[in-house]
């Protein structure tokens, strides 16, 4: 069972979004790993590899701000371009009683995104707390081949 909220507000070329999600399994004894909730990856605890955390209970909240810095037009990068950042906090827990803000992963990212003819693309720098090695990665959002 999951519960999610997403709210966003745009003002001119700026957008601010807040989202929160939480979930829990209703089974007392979990035998199918496909029922575990994954966390990790871009805007889903960005400082971690995609789906690197899994558990029967999860919670995550994120605040994302981005600004359109290019509108497309003539030139080499003739695509809409965005610069943004995110703040994220979340975790997975084996027991619901363990869920509290004090034992969440706190992550942040800075990204540049482009709406290309191949679909959305972004370059991301991220980090997490407790400290993990921050790194740059190129991620592909949207349809891939």
Q: Which residue has the higher pLDDT, 95 or 74?
A: 95
128 vs 84, which has greater pLDDT?
84
Round to whole Å and give the CA distance between 113 and 103: 31
pLDDT confidence band for 132 (50 / 70 / 90): low
Q: CB within 8 A of 27, min separation 6: which ones?
A: 35, 56
Task: Output the pTM of the full model.
Answer: 0.82
What is the rounded distance in angstroms from the CA atom of residue 105 to the CA atom of residue 92? Answer: 9
Number of H helices, E strands in the chain: 0, 9
Res 79: pLDDT = 83
Whether residue 144 is predicted with pLDDT greater than 50 in this model: the reply is no
pLDDT at 95: 86
From the number of C-beta atoms within 10 Å of its C-beta (0-12, 13-18, 19+), residue 110 rates as middle
Identify which has the larger pLDDT, 122 or 44.
44
Tokens 């029922």 -> residue: 35
Query: CA 50, CA 114: separation in Å to the nearest integer?
Result: 21
């Amino acid at each position: 069972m999951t519960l999610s909220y997403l709210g966003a507000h745009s003002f001119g070329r700026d957008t601010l979004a807040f989202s929160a999600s939480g979930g829990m399994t209703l089974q007392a004894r979990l035998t199918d790993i496909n029922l575990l909730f994954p966390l990790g990856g871009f805007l889903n605890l960005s400082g971690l590899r995609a789906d690197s955390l899994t558990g029967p209970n999860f919670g995550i909240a994120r605040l994302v701000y981005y600004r359109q810095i290019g509108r497309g037009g003539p030139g080499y990068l003739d695509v809409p371009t965005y610069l943004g950042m995110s703040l994220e906090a979340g975790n997975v827990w084996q027991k619901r009683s363990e869920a509290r803000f004090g034992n969440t992963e706190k992550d942040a990212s800075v990204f540049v995104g482009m709406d290309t003819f191949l679909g959305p693309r972004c370059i991301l720098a991220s980090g997490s707390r407790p400290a993990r090695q921050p790194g740059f990665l190129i991620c592909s959002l949207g349809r891939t081949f």
